[in-house]
Structure 1
Amino acid sequence: MEENTNSHNDSIQTDTADAFGFSFGSSNKPKPIIKSVVGRNDYFYNMAHKKRGLAIIFNHQSFIVPYLKDRMGTNVDCEQLKMCLKKLDFEVHVYNDLGVKDLLDKVEKVSSEDHSDHDCVVLAILTHGEEGLLFAKDGAYKHDQVFDNFRGDRCPTLVGKPKIFFIQACQGSRLDAGIGVYTEMDSSVSCYKIPIYADFLVVYSTIPGFYSWRNTTNGSWFIQALTAELKESGTLYDLLTILTFVCRRVAIDFESRVPDNSTMDKQKQIPCVTSMLTRLIKFSPKSDNINNSVEDIQQTVMKNE
Structure 2
Amino acid sequence: MQPDPGPRAQYDLSGTRAALILAVIQGRSGAQHDVEALGSLCQSLGFKTTVRMDPTAQAFQEELAQFQEQLDTHRGPVSCALVALMAHGGQQGWLVGADGQEVQPEALVLELSRCRALQGHPKIFLLQACRGGHRDAGLGPTALSWFWRWLWAPPTVPSHADVLQVYADVQGSSSGGPAPGSSNHADILTVYAAAEGCVAYRDGKGSDFIQTLVEVLQADSGRDILELMTEPWPGAAHWTSGRASQWGVLGNGQEWSWQVNRRVCELDTLGPDSDKLRKTCLEIRSSLQRQLCLRA
Q: TM-score under structure 2 normalisation?
A: 0.71
Q: How many residues align?
A: 224
Aligned to 1:301: none
Deviation at 1:261, TM superposition (A): 2.0
Measure, in 2, the Cα distance between the counterparts of 1:209 and 1:280: 30
Deviation at 1:106, TM superposition (A): 1.2
CA contact (8 A) 2:188 2:288 kept: yes
Measure, in 1, the Cα distance between the counterparts of 2:295 and 2:213: 18
CA contact (8 A) 2:271 2:278 kept: no
1:43-58 aligned within 5 A: 43-49=9-15, 51=16, 53-58=17-22
1:176 aligns with 2:136: yes
Aligned to 1:77: 34
CA spacing shift, 1:270–1:259, aligned 2, 3 Å:
closer
Larger RCO of the pair (alpha carbons < 8 Å, separation 6+): 2
- SS of the aligned residue for 1:81 comes to helix
Deviation at 1:260, TM superposition (A): 7.7
Deviation at 1:258, TM superposition (A): 4.9
Divergent runs of 4+, >6 A: none
Percentage identity across paired residues of the two chains: 28
1:164-243 aligned within 5 A: 164-179=124-139, 180=141, 181-182=144-145, 194-215=182-203, 217-234=204-221, 236-243=222-229
Stretches of structure 1 lacking an aligned partner (at least 5 in a row): 1-40, 63-69, 186-190, 286-305
Measure, in 1, the Cα distance between the counterparts of 2:288 and 2:217: 19
- Give, as a single letter, the amino acid of the residue that structure 1 aligns with 2:228: I
Aligned to 1:251: 265
Larger radius of gyration: 1
1:105-184 aligned within 5 A: 105-113=62-70, 114=72, 116-130=76-90, 131-138=92-99, 139-151=101-113, 154-179=114-139, 180=141, 181-182=144-145
- Give, as a single letter, the amino acid of the residue that structure 1 aligns with 2:207: S
Select which of 259, 275, 284 maps to 1:273.
284
- Give, as a single letter, the amino acid of the residue that structure 1 aligns with 2:132: G
Deviation at 1:132, TM superposition (A): 3.5
Deviation at 1:279, TM superposition (A): 1.0
Select which of 38, 44, 58 maps to 1:87.
44
- SS of the aligned residue for 2:37 comes to helix
Measure, in 1, the Cα distance between the counterparts of 2:265 and 2:9: 29
- SS of the aligned residue for 2:62 comes to helix
CA contact (8 A) 2:269 2:280 kept: no
Aligned to 1:18: none
CA contact (8 A) 1:73 1:220 kept: yes
Measure, in 2, the Cα distance between the counterparts of 1:124 and 1:107: 11
More displaced 10-residue stretch of structure 1: 70-79 or 135-144: 135-144
Deviation at 1:221, TM superposition (A): 0.8
- Give, as a single letter, the amino acid of the residue that structure 2 aligns with 1:233: D
- Give, as a single letter, the amino acid of the residue that structure 2 aligns with 1:196: N
- SS of the aligned residue for 1:277 comes to coil
CA spacing shift, 1:255–1:194, aligned 2, 3 Å:
same
Measure, in 2, the Cα distance between the counterparts of 1:133 and 1:170: 8
- SS of the aligned residue for 2:50 comes to strand
What CA deviation, in whole Å up to 9, does each residue of 1:56-114 have, x standing for no partner? 1111022xxxxxxx101100111011111111111111100011222211101111223
Deviation at 1:117, TM superposition (A): 2.2
CA contact (8 A) 1:55 1:93 kept: yes
